[in-house]
Structure 1
Amino acid sequence: MLDSESEANMNVPQLLSASPLRVFEWATGKTDAEVVRIVLNASLFIHPSLVRRTPIMLPDCVRESNAHHPGKEKGDMSVWKGRQVKVCDNTTARVAFGRYIGRSMNGKNREVAVGWEVAHIWASVHDPQYFTAGWNMYLIPGFLRVLTEEQAQIPLFAKCLQFVAWNLFFKNPVAVPATQPPQPSSDVPEWLITFEPRFASAT
């Protein structure tokens, strides 16, 4: 948290060199742990019962990746572990999320307001096991998403998010991917132990 008087009165050069997290802390007077709680409270997960039924919504799709699918653009075919996969952008993850919750998330008949964005809990979206897996996606208001990005320098959020998701989907497994995400650290804020995530639903 920005606790000194000089930080509390940040000037423009200081603001421009600060991470989005630091600016949010400065503007709201919140600590990084409080920011994490705000973001998690505003996030919506897919219910484990839906993930158990369909662990991966679109198992032949991957997101663009120069490292893992070099030279491939949206719509191209690539090869992942000996099989063909379609290279997509995050619109495909949004479509998959919508199918999980029974709501259209695209087009003029969309049933989820503009401004909600699908984000991923673990990276590896170049892998078709991870890209549209119900256990690896959550919905977040776009204005908060920047605080979840690596550039925002808030590793505590990734740790807490993965802790919540692991307990939802892998503590009592609802899915068994060939490459399971690593078990997260248990070194998390005490309030997270009893945190109750919210679920996106069709009603």
Structure 2
Amino acid sequence: MIAQLDSEHVVLVGDAGQAIGVAPKDEVHGRDTPLHLAFSCYVFDAEGRVLLTRRADDKLTWPGVWTNSCCGHPQPSEPIARAVARRLRHELGLAASRIDLMLPRFRYRAVMASGIVEYEVCPVYRAIVETDPQANPEEVGAVRWMSWAGFAEGVLSGDLEISPWCREQVPELVAIGDDPLRWPSADVALLPPAAIPD
């Protein structure tokens, strides 16, 4: 059984993408954040609109910043797609009809003005939903739907202020194709070893 949200642990990752341990989530993010396993998810509706979220104002990292639909950390031995579904329910009250791997090897490091660091091996997923979100205010301050083309153009031009990981992910997603509903899924065998449970 997965640990309760108030006792989440993250999987620590080595340079080659292998799991090297675990640590409590609330002790990991700081000025010397170790590389760890996470995920990003972009939620789309049947029209191909993407769901953006504004991170809650009391988040430790990038509070109040607009970003992609959902992010999180898989628990030790939890398949990432299951973690995506869990966080979509918790943060947005959404049950996805499909969850597909898009960018299996995305990795980034970003530093806030306060010095807090995010340093993640962060596979990127697409989720398709048929309902509107019911945002959890502890996680999400606001939501909005945008056309994918308008969103991508805003990110690529720099006109849209967005989280640093999203800014790096969007060009890679754009390279897959113009229609996010027709993007081909990536092979799960391309995930880093830490993301493939025993």
More strand by share: 2
More helix by share: 1
Q: TM-score normalized by structure 1?
A: 0.30
Q: TM-score normalized by structure 2?
A: 0.31
Higher gyration radius (CA): 1
